[in-house]
Amino acid sequence: GDSVTQTEGLVTLTEGLPVMLNCTYQTIYSNPFLFWYVHYLNESPRLLLKSSTDNKRTEHQGFHATLHKSSSSFHLQKSSAQLSDSALYYCALSDPGYQNFYFGKGTSLTVIP
């Protein structure tokens, strides 16, 4: 079945350093949508960015990700971490065949001064 793997459960970074959160997926569907959702403390999880186009960079709020179907990856990156980036980040996959979403276990990012 479909699944999403986020290898890091906890990431702690110093402000100003680059961010890279890993996401790989498994699906039988040839045209999946991949998403990054962000969950700030005491707020609702919300969409950060999404893509279904192979090898095209998607950007939003300083973050970017590129869907690589050849490696089944959709890693989230940012050039310089800010304190306000501290949050829980989820990678997710949607399978239009079943109108469902599959989430990874999440990566908790903490940015320290």
Partner 1 sequence: EAAVTQSPRNKVTVTGGNVTLSCRQTNSHNYMYWYRQDTGHGLRLIHYSYGAGNLQIGDVPDGYKATRTTQEDFFLLLELASPSQTSLYFCASSDWGEGQNTLYFGAGTRLSVL
Beta bridge partners, 107, equal 89
Q: Is 44 in the site for partner 1 (CB under 8 A)?
A: yes
- β-pair type (76-78, 107-112): unpaired
Using CB under 8 A, pick the residue from 11, 15, 33, 68 that binds partner 1: 33
CA 111, CA 62: separation in Å to the nearest integer? 15
50 binds partner 1, rule: CB under 8 A: yes
Query: Does 36 help bind partner 1 (rule: CB under 8 A)?
Result: no
30 contacts partner 1 (rule: CB under 8 A): no
Segment near partner 1 (CB under 8 A); pick from 15-23, 62-70, 77-85, 98-106: 98-106
Shorter beta-carbon distance to partner 1: residue 10 or 14: 10
Q: Is 58 in the site for partner 1 (CB under 8 A)?
A: no
Q: Which one of residues 14, 28, 43, 113 is an interface residue with partner 1 (CB under 8 A)?
A: 43
Which CB sits closer to partner 1, 20 or 40? 40
CA distance 25 to 5: 6
80 binds partner 1 (CB under 8 A): no
| 3-class DSSP state of 83 | helix
Q: How distant is the alpha carbon of residue 81 from its chain centre?
A: 15
> Which residues, 6 or more positions from 13, have their beta carbon under 8 angstroms from its beta carbon?
19, 81, 109, 110, 111, 112
